[in-house]
Amino acid sequence: MSKIYAITNQKGGVGKTTTCVNLAASLVATKKKVLLVDLDPQGNATMGSGIDKNELEESIYDVLLGESKLLDVIQYSESGGYDVLPANGDLTAAEVRLLSIDNKEQRLKIALKPVTGRYDYVLIDCPPSLNMLTVNALTACQGVIIPMQCEYYALEGLSALVETINQITEVLNPELVIEGILRTMHDPRNSLTVDVSAQLTEYFGEKLYRTCIPRNVRLAEAPSFGQPVLAYDNQSKGAIAYLALAGEMLRRNEAHQKQAVPQAQ
């Protein structure tokens, strides 16, 4: 079965999309099969994977509303080596239309069911708000990855996100956990970064990934070429950091599996 992770933070510009695209490509580099689900009407993950959001005949919008089959909508990203369930501005309308249909929180979960055996990892790029689309992501996934910029206001809003996650766990998705907290655009020379890092360690302990993603111009340039940074510049600090993150994630998952399987006596 696939591991399904939602990349979530209701703040914009913290590196959700960058993480989704580059973690997907890095997992592919370790021979994993990956589906990237673009759940943001901005369609940045779609474009950053080399798929033109303006040319889509069908998108995740049609899938959520039950008007298209998932397999008819999924496209392959040549630059990333993973599959994409693409999005564009149409998705803005889904927010409203979802409110009036059955199982409105479960639409993505139901839609993903037929393909969960095909992929090792499904990564969902969430919009920058705690809306019905994000609720769908949190209901469909097993774990949440929260990218954070270590800035003064970084921790503000985190309690609202944790609260939302707790509510979803109680009502809709009991298996949901925070999978990891990821420091993005990291600058260890900045003393504020060090302070915020210390607070994150105190609050989240082992959930905080050891890997930090540095601020790296190659990461910011790659999307305009429709490429993950691994395709754009595989020697860049950004590429190396996201490969390290994929490695850390895989090691964590292996460790969990070992814990789950009791040793033979």
* Contact set with Mg ion (CB under 5 A): 16-17, 44
Q: How far is the CB of 125 from Mg ion (least distance, A)?
A: 6
Q: How far is the CB of 12 from Mg ion (least distance, A)?
A: 7
Is position 157 an interface residue for ligand ADP (rule: CB under 6 A)?
A: no
185 binds, among ligand ADP, Mg ion, none (CB under 5 to 8 A by kind): ligand ADP
Four-residue CA torsion sign, 128, 132, 138, 141: negative
Q: How far is the CB of 220 from Mg ion (least distance, A)?
A: 13
Largest CA distance in the chain: 59
Residue 62's contacts (CB-CB under 8 Å, 6 or more residues apart) are 68, 73
Q: Which of residues 235-254 bind ligand ADP (CB under 6 A)?
A: 238
Paired strand residues for 124: 6, 37
The smaller minimum CB distance to ligand ADP, of residues 128 and 157, is found at 128
DSSP state of 115: G
Is position 17 an interface residue for ligand ADP (rule: CB under 6 A)?
A: yes
Amino acid symbol at 74: I
Q: How far is the CB of 240 from ligand ADP (least distance, A)?
A: 12
Give the total of residues touching ligand ADP (CB under 6 A).
18
Single out the residue of 126, 40, 38 nearest to residue 83, CA to CA. 38
Is position 16 an interface residue for ligand ADP (rule: CB under 6 A)?
A: yes
Q: How far is the CB of 263 from Mg ion (least distance, A)?
A: 43
14 binds, among ligand ADP, Mg ion, none (CB under 5 to 8 A by kind): ligand ADP
Q: How far is CA 125 from CA 4, 40, 128, in A?
A: 11, 7, 10
The smaller minimum CB distance to ligand ADP, of residues 52 and 170, is found at 52
137 binds, among Mg ion, ligand ADP, none (CB under 5 to 8 A by kind): none
216 binds, among ligand ADP, Mg ion, none (CB under 5 to 8 A by kind): ligand ADP
Q: Which of residues 195-224 bind ligand ADP (CB under 6 A)?
A: 213, 215-216, 219-220, 223
Provide Rg for the chain, Cα atoms.
Answer: 18
SS3 per residue for 169-216: HHHCCCCCEEEEEEEEEECCCCHHHHHHHHHHHHHHHHHEEEEEEECC
Q: How far is the CB of 18 from ligand ADP (least distance, A)?
A: 3
Separation of alpha carbons 258 and 263, rounded Å? 9
Q: How far is the CB of 75 from ligand ADP (least distance, A)?
A: 20
Separation of alpha carbons 140 and 148, rounded Å? 22
Interface with ligand ADP (CB under 6 A): 12-18, 44, 128, 184-185, 213, 215-216, 219-220, 223, 238
